[in-house]
Amino acid sequence: MQLTLKKGILFVLSGPSGAGKNTLLNAVLEKVPEVYYSVSATTRPSRPGEVHGRNYFFLSPEEFKQGIEAGEFLEWTEFCGHYYGTPRRFIDEQLAEGKSVIMDIDINGAAQIKRQLPQVVSVFLLPPNLTVLHQRLVGRASEGEKAIRERLDKALCEVQALADYDYVIVNEDLHLAVERMKAIIMAERQRVSRIDCQRIIDQVTRGNV
Number of chain positions touching its own copies (CB under 8 A): 47
- Could you give the string, one character per residue 175-204, with x where binding to its own copies holds by CB under 8 A and - elsewhere? ----xx-xxx-xxx-xxxx-x-x--xx-xx
Q: What is the DSSP letter of 5?
A: B
CB atoms within 10 A of CB 34: 16
Sheet with 73-79: list strands edge to edge.
56-58, 40-42, 82-87, 73-79
Q: Which range touches its own copies (CB under 8 A), out of 22-30, 39-47, 87-95, 169-177?
A: 169-177
Angle, helices 130-140/145-158, rounded to nearest 10 degrees: 140
Tell me which of 50, 93, 97, 172 binds its own copies, using CB under 8 A: 172
Q: Given the complex with its own copies, which of 61 and 128 has the nearer CB atom? A: 128
Q: Give dist(CA 188, CA 181) in Å, integer.
A: 11
- Could you give the string, one character per residue 71-110, with x where binding to its own copies holds by CB under 8 A and - elsewhere? ----------------------------------------
Binding site for its own copies (CB under 8 A): 1, 3, 124, 126-132, 134, 152, 156, 159-160, 162-163, 165-170, 172, 179-180, 182-184, 186-188, 190-193, 195, 197, 200-201, 203-209
